Amino acid sequence: MRNNIYVIKKSNALTAAAVSLAFTAVCVGVLAIPKVSIEGAKNGISYSLGILIPSLFPFMFLSNFAVEYGISKKLGKLLSPFTEKVLYLPGEAGVTVLLSFIGGFPVGAVGINALYSQGKITEKQAQRMLLFCVNSGPAFLISVVGTELYGSELVGVILLFSQITANLLIGMILGLFARKKEPLQKAASTFEKNNSFSAAFINSAKSACVSTVNLCALVVLFSSFGAIMLNVLKIENGSLGSIVLKTIFEVTDGCSILSKNRIAFFITAAAVGWSGLCVHFQIYSSAEKININKIIFMLSRVICGIISAALAYLSTFIIAFDTEVFSNISETSQVFSSTTICGSIALFISCVLFLISMKTMFFTGEKIYPDDR
């Protein structure tokens, strides 16, 4: 027992030392090379305005609304045969699983958090769902990665198919193990009565707005700190080191630099399956009420990346691709813009909703994040 306590204390001390060292290094970097930090932050803001908010905010709202208004319960009956028999989850989780495959990376976590908060699923079921309900949306993979970066819509479709198949396999395997350990049952729901339409709409908009602001903040921070790290380590843009670091930290930068360096798309499939540490933190933030084992979560992302890459590679033996797909000769243009109408409108709406939620919190005393996490 004493040995275990000693190991835990030592582990906590090492973690604290590592965080302190990283914090000091970032502070020095921000002060010493502010231009690099600013440029990195600008890239993060550009991505948030041009892609993140327009593509994810509506799906986050829908994911919350499906639970708040009781839609997940009604549609869950249609999806229950697949959800219960294949994934070994309650029928009401079916809508969240579906939205996680088509909505984008944090959408699944937002829906899972809502299901768990309302007692629709148990904590074990929520933890299991978080290991495979992590997917990039079709808009990003087909339009951005496939069409814009690799110049092939077909590549985007294959990346999407590989990622969904990989996560479904993970979900099915986890379901098989869960059958032996836990019965298929719902948690004791404390919200049997569904909210009215207006209440569900407002609550869903508030939750989606807070989640979106958190995600954008993480993207900007990771983009800024990543730029500082590359500069401090004297790693040239386009080198193997920059490719590895960008792929590990941020999936968008990873996909972009992989395509610019003419690397085959099945390697990009691995990057998408891994999804990047920035996305991992987005998941942790969106599922803040659920106790996540981060090591197991990261391991699931590694496995997803390996399976996705294998499936994408197998597709090269079945489908005939143009040479440009494997050696992307054409220069890729900047695909994210902070001046898009859609991005500006979405940001404005998000800000208004956030201010409304803050006003409600101050006048009613309601807490956005409860103490009993």
Where do the structural domains in the chain lie, given as residue ranges?
43-364
For the stretch 28-81, pLDDT in tens is 766 677 888 888 888 888 878 877 788 778 877 887 787 777 777 777 778 888
pLDDT at 331 over 50: no
What is the model's pLDDT at position 330? Answer: 39
264-268 contacts at long range (C-beta below 8 A, 24 or more positions apart):
264/325, 264/326, 265/150, 265/155, 265/158, 265/159, 265/312, 265/325, 265/326, 266/309, 266/312, 266/313, 266/315, 266/316, 267/309, 268/145, 268/150, 268/159, 268/312
Lowest mean pLDDT among 125-134, 149-158, 190-199, 281-290: 190-199
High-pLDDT (> 70) share of the chain, %: 74
Mean local confidence (pLDDT), 117-122: 88
Question: Are 59 and 103 within 8 A, CB to CB?
Answer: yes
What is the model's pLDDT at position 293? Answer: 92
Confidence of residue 370 (pLDDT cuts 50, 70, 90): very low
What is the model's pLDDT at position 124? Answer: 92
What is the model's pLDDT at position 312? Answer: 94
Ramachandran sector of residue 119 (left: φ over 0; alpha: ψ -120 to 50; beta: rest): left
pLDDT at 205 over 80: yes
What is the model's pLDDT at position 176? Answer: 92
Confidence of residue 26 (pLDDT cuts 50, 70, 90): low
Task: Give the residue with greater pLDDT, 35 vs 365.
Answer: 35
What is the model's pLDDT at position 29? Answer: 67
What is the model's pLDDT at position 342? Answer: 44
